[in-house]
Amino acid sequence: MSAFPPIVVHRISPSGGRRVTVRDQIMGLAHSDNDLMDFLRRAGLPDSAALLDDPTWIEWVGDRRHEYDPLEIVP
């Protein structure tokens, strides 16, 4: 595995949700951990729930992990 996690969960969008990329390919906009796990399953990672908090697999950018709503952002 490379030095960078292959999965990136990007900042929360102003309209809600977070863009998810797997190996630089955009998978979609996740509005929940369930959406995120669905994207990871589609990318061929069957036990995706175990990966959500593993920094060798997933990088959460800019906001708290597991948050998808812009109203949850704490200044």
pTM of structure? 0.87
Section 6-32 average pLDDT? 96
Q: Is residue 73 included in any domain, yes or no?
A: no
Q: Is residue 32 included in any domain, yes or no?
A: yes
Q: Is residue 51 included in any domain, yes or no?
A: yes
Q: What whole-number distance in Å separates Cα of residue 30 and Cα of residue 17? A: 5
Total structural domains in the chain? 1
Instruction: Give which of 60, 68, 70 is closest to 10, Cα–Cα.
Output: 60
Residue 3's pLDDT band (cuts 50, 70, 90): low
Section 48-61 average pLDDT? 91
Residue 50's pLDDT band (cuts 50, 70, 90): confident
Q: What whole-number distance in Å separates Cα of residue 51 and Cα of residue 74? A: 25
Q: Is residue 37 included in any domain, yes or no?
A: yes
Q: What whole-number distance in Å separates Cα of residue 65 and Cα of residue 55? A: 11
Domain, as residue range, for 36: 7-66
